[in-house]
Structure formats: C-alpha cells, structure tokens
Amino acid sequence: MSQPRVGFIGLGIMGRPMCKNLIQAGFPLTVWNRSRPGIDTVTGYGAAAAAAPREVAERSDIIITMVTDSPDVRQVILGEQGVIHGVKRDAAVIDMSTISPAVTREIAAALKMKGVHMLDAPVSGGEKGAIDGTLSIMVGGEEPIFQRCLPAFQAMGKTIVYVGPTGSGQIVKLCNQVAGAVHLQAMCETLALAVRAGVDPHRMLEAVSAGAAGSWMLSNLAPRILKGDLNPGFMVKLQQKDLRLIMETADELHLPLPATALVSQLFRSVEADGGGDLGTQALITVMEKLANIRVAG
C-alpha cells in the first residue's frame, strides 16, 4: 500500500528536518515556503516544490503547516492562495505551529464546511528533536483522523499523544510552555545563587541535576550558559509569542498565572536589550543585571 501524499508549508528551522524525516520514511512530499532558501534545501532532500499553499493542497492527502503565529496559519490556510481553495474533500490538514486555540477552532470550522478534517499538533523538542525525529507531538481533533495520520507523526516524533478535541493540542502546548518558561527562570536563579555564593556552578549543576530538582533546563541550557553560549535552539522572540498566547488564553479563562506573567516581563527586558534573536537561555542576562554578577561564560 502506497504512502499518502504529504504537503508541507513552512520550511524554517523546524520544518526542514521534519520534511527530511518524512521523505526518509517514504512519504511523497510537496512543499511551499515564503522564502526560497527553505524550498531549495528541502527539494534537495527529494521533495517537489509548489507555487502556493493552494497547489500544495491540490497535490496532497495530508497537508502540514509549520509557521510562526496565528495570522500566518490563517493566511496559508484561509488566505487568497490558501490551502482551503485547493484541498480535497476528506483530506486532513495538520497545523503543527504553536498558535491560539481560538484561532485553531476557527480554522477547523472553516475547513469542516468543505468536508476537510483538521488536527492541531504542536510540538516540543526544538531543532534537535526535529533533526533526530524525536519530537513530542500533542494532537487535538477527531481521534479517527489522528489514527489515520499517525504514521506521518511517527516519522517526525517519538512521543505522540492524542489529547482531545480540536484546540486541545494547542492548550497542551501552552501548558508545556508554562512549565518550560518557569523552569527557565528557576534555572537562572539557581545559577545566580551559586555564583554569588562562590560555589562552582558546574559542580552545583552536577549535584542538583541528579536529584528531585533536576530538569531539562538544568541539564541542557545551564551548561550552555556557563560556556557563554546564548545562541538559539529556540529564540526569545518566539518564546514571547508563546507567552503572549498563554496570557491571552488565561485571560479568556479568568485564570491567574503569576509566575508565567513574571517570566514574560523578564523576557521583555531581554528583548528591550536587543536579545530577541538569542536563545531562551539569554534570560540569564536579566539576572546578571539585577544582581550585578557575571554568570554566562
């Protein structure tokens, strides 16, 4: 039985390796991107290029979008040359971006009017997870459509969880970002305390990371800070976009998220200092200024 034809829209840091893994798993792939370098890279892996999202949809059974924010997803799916104008009845559209749950439901409703299914399937794991095919993928939508698309998810990720109806995938991703952001701040404060107290931060990390307070941030980003490496795996400006989505959703739900709100303001300080394109570990620079200490490098 031949693999379903997959279309992929959005060939950035995450999209390119995800496409490579789909091709290696045997999926025929058609791609589109707003800029040429991403298209050139992925056609080099063996994909075919399309002239617009509409054409991607015309040539695909499953259409995946992986772009920056809610307006971008709305544009590539519902815009003038969007997916909705070329997609076939009973096809599946999978948005793997991190966007507003409310916008997800709006787009899903528009696609449903054309007999098209939508899954919201944001990811966690960053560029390394995309390259290694080990992403964590949280999926909302109709469960039978999730099962239909599972082989494509398995080509890109390792932990794939169906979490509920449309919009649930985005909610779970926002939960992930709450935990990640607060852990980032905890990691920065941990380093600051060790440095100010004169304790070797490398030895502190070795001890703390192995215990109950260990975290992905301590194990992966803290060592990069100590090397002075603030290059992005995930950019500050994208973290801020996710934190904005979290606070908007919390506002709709009348839910207080005090720690998340604080971290958002601290990241705003990083952005104000020109650090929007740095990795999220650049949050340490705020602690350095507040405490008048040097931690990075």
> Which amino acids are annotated catalytic?
173
Q: Any idea what the Cα angle at residue 212 is, between residues 200 and 231, rounded to 5°?
A: 55
Closest CA relative to residue 101, chosen from 113, 109, 91:
109
Residue 3 structure tokens: 């693999």
Give Cα separations from 172 to 116, 133, 150, 175, 222 (angstroms).
23, 20, 18, 5, 25
Strand pairing category for 135-140 and 48-49: unpaired
User: How far apart (Å, rounded) are the C-alpha atoms in residues 134 and 111?
Assistant: 29
